[in-house]
Structure 1
């Protein structure tokens, strides 16, 4: 069966029609990339420029969190995701992803640290992607934590090294899985093979920008940027090959074919794809109470399209998509579910914002 494409949209052109209102929680952030809620009500926000910020009592702390490791900052490179550990209330542990190195040799790196007030302590490197690459594009860098505590890290193909996505001796173009101490889980699909890196969980990805684990269904979902078209949402299963660049619904930026195939035997087809591209960024699976009509839906923010897409899911079959937040006219980098069931949105801009979405 051909994967679901963009066939039907329920257009929402204004906040009133969609039943929500949007307010600004914080402004003046330098390309905010990720947001995380802490049990005490504080919010953490990463800025791609290399800063980690705190929002307390609804106000942005003017001083950044201290002790954040230096990131390589250029073009798409910088500080990326922040993820509190499942047991953060007890251990105060955070995970951060960022670009490390320089323009000639860099990689996605993941560290763990303990949040002590407004500073990081006990910093430890858990993972650095290999091989090192040139340039400043396609890092992936989204993080998710599974029920057993292990970490998933979505990685990009390095842009100019797309063939590496099929190379099991390279981390480029993969989703990898590690333990919270950086070790390799015993049940990883390629552990023990001489021809593969043991951290690899799935492969054949272009640039993973959305990654989540849904505890209610025990499923993993990811989305990735295509080139000119071919953005994908995938259900992730261990050891599977998701095809890039052997199959794609997109074209090279020059207009040339990347591959003549959109599907091939043995390669996982996407749940859906967007052609032309919307440039998907963050993603949640909504199970909150504030918007009962959204329950069970993926909500995907988009940069180029300046909107979000709500995608109802039923047994991994996507339903008709709804456009949200297009009236804002802003590049939306990330989306998170708030404790009250509302949403947080991050606006990707030189003077970026944290927005709060509540019922109308």
Structure 2
């Protein structure tokens, strides 16, 4: 018990998640040992485009689409439709998972999926196969938030087959105290080998929540990992403890020489930033060079931050939430030397995954943040300009599901993992006529712009039923008529007052009026 925290009488205090609903116990999976059972290849059955079955039930999306082809498509994806994305479709890729937590692409055809119950899968898209990976270390799975967490693939996976994962470990004596672990291993066929611990966030703590555990590489090969405060908020400001921090490591777990606190004896050399609460999302955007983070607040105050070297993000001294005793925490929302969030949510939506959209499929989202919500059961698109968030739009509420992970595939499709057991692909489809401009017609332009004068004779304009005047107009050279329309004549303003007309539109409406007016009896 030498690594247990002092003051274990605090167990009398509730050990449920300090994130309130963000990590509630409504959908607890059965505890499952993460031992080395033989690899299992699940039978798969195709039910619709992009969809396979991995559990006992068909996807609700497939069932509904069987009698409504527009289910989760077009205007039925209401918020996307109102954002002028009218050809979106949402398709299931995998259904029947048991409380999945994270996924990561190995390549466009292969990805890894974690379940908090201590299972790791490799999904191959073509041909379809879901295989359980064995060789995980002992993982604590007895509580709602304990288990296998994030997964990351080494940037040079094609050559070294190395993956990284986070999980909770129970103490060996009582099995009721936990710590956050970061490990790496090589994936050989369907088994992990050469498993190594990179970080063990000592000591074990009483809380079964606030593990953090997000993992992300930057474009220089440095590894970032997030550590939750483990429900002991004061640890987030202590330099000798990893809880409530973002760490920066080399890919072998060693400390980079340029880490911000390597020369500070009061700080652990692995710490890159401090003062965070329960960060479950990290994403590095290579184009901007920014590392984005999401973290759960207490009662409100979920945050999106840009993580930078040596910065203190303030928890628990500042924040926009409230303690579970309904009292203000710390000194308020601002304090000298503590960074404000890039964005915060009040009330809480329980932010978890985050990514930056880069792709061709939704070009209007380029550079924007996509933030998943557990309690909010939606994805926030945070329109961004540099470091500034301009606006927020929420979508995919039609799934009515807790969003666990978000990734953008190479083709620009957005893949979404939901806690209720499914992996979905949000894409766009080509629909006949969508986005095409209707063919211009002379009569349509006349009815919209010209009829006000030429139907009534206002301002001396020749009425369309005055054949004699139109015969006089038609006797002029066509070049002269077109020049008069373009430049204006008498009371008729330039371009006939048609602000949207190009030269071709003017020719169309001129021809229509000449033919119609001269043909009147």
Could you tell me how far apart the structure 2 residues matched to 1:348 and 1:23 are?
16
Between the aligned partners of 1:14 and 1:238, the Cα distance in structure 2 is 37
Q: Give the whole-Å Cα distance in 2 for the aligned partners of 1:32 and 1:214.
A: 24
- Cα 1:133–1:59, aligned 2, differ >3 Å: closer, same or farther? farther
Following superposition of structure 1 onto structure 2, how do residues 62-101 of structure 1 map, counting pairs within 5 Å?
A: 63-73=131-141, 74-101=143-170
Aligned to 2:292: 221
1:266 alignment partner in structure 2? 337
Write the distance in 1 (CA, Å) between the matches of 2:264 and 2:368.
Answer: 37
Q: Secondary structure at the match of 1:312?
A: strand
Name the CA distance, whole Å, in 2 between partners of 1:129 and 1:260. 28
Counterpart check, 1:150 vs 2:215: no
Q: Output one character per residue of 1:149-197: Cα deviation in whole Å (capped at 9) or x when no partner.
A: 11100110001x1110000111010001111111111111111322111
| 2:177–2:208 Cα contact (<8 Å) kept | no
Question: Is the Cα contact below 8 Å between 1:25 and 1:59 reproduced in 2?
Answer: no
Q: Is the 8 A contact 2:109 2:126 kept in 1?
A: no
Q: What is the match of residue 118 of structure 2?
A: 50
State the shift of 1:81 in Å. Answer: 0.8
Question: Aligned equivalents of 1:240 and 1:14: distance in 2?
Answer: 36
CA–CA separation in structure 2 for the residues paired with 1:259 and 1:14: 37
| Alignment map for 1:232-311 (pairs within 5 Å) | 232-311=303-382
What's the counterpart of residue 3 of structure 1? none
Q: Is the 8 A contact 2:301 2:345 kept in 1?
A: yes
Paired with 2:249 and 2:177, the residues of 1 have a C-alpha distance of 23
Q: Tell me the residue number matched to 1:346.
A: 417
Name the residue aligned to 1:39: 107
User: Residue 359 of structure 1 aligns with which residue?
Assistant: 428
In 2: Cα distance, 1:60 partner to 1:244 partner? 45
Structure 1 residue 254, shift from structure 2 partner: 2.5
Match of 1:112 in 2: 184
Distance in 2, Cα, partners of 1:218 & 1:88: 22
Match of 2:107, SS state, is: coil
Contact 1:94/1:113 (8 A) holds in 2: yes
CA distance in 1, matches of 2:108, 2:336: 49
Return 54-63 or 133-142, whichever deviates more: 54-63
Name 1:123's counterpart in structure 2: 195
- Per the alignment, residue 41 of structure 2 pairs with none
1:13 deviates by 3.1
**More off after superposition, 58-67 vs 82-91:** 58-67
Structure 1 segments (4+ residues) deviating >6 Å: none
Contact map agreement 1:39 1:89 (CA 8 A) in 2: no
For residue 96 of structure 2, give the secondary structure of its aligned residue in structure 1: strand
Q: Which residue of 1 aligns with 2:486?
A: none
TM-score normalised according to structure 1 size: 0.93
Question: Does the Cα contact within 8 Å between 2:133 and 2:190 map onto a contact in 1?
Answer: yes
Q: Contact 2:384/2:391 (CA < 8 Å) preserved in 1?
A: no
Task: After superposition, give the CA deviation of every residue in 1:78-116 in whole Å (9 maximum; x if it has no partner).
Answer: 101110101111111101111112453321111111111
Q: Which runs of 5+ in 1 are unaligned?
A: 1-11
Higher helix share: 2
Please report the RMSD computed on the Cα atoms of aligned residues, expressed in angstroms.
1.5
Q: Which of the pair is proportionally richer in strand?
A: 1
Match of residue 442 from structure 2: none
Measure the CA separation in 1 of the matches of 2:209 and 2:120.
21
Structure 1 CA distance for aligned equivalents of residues 128 and 206 of structure 2: 35
For structure 2, the residue ranges without an aligned partner over 5 or more in a row are 1-76, 430-521
Distance 1:57 1:40 in 2: 9
Greater relative CO (CA pairs within 8 A, separation 6+): 1
* Structure 1 residue matching 2:235: 3-state secondary structure: helix
Cα distance 1:59–1:257, how it changes in 2: closer, same or farther (>3 A)?
farther
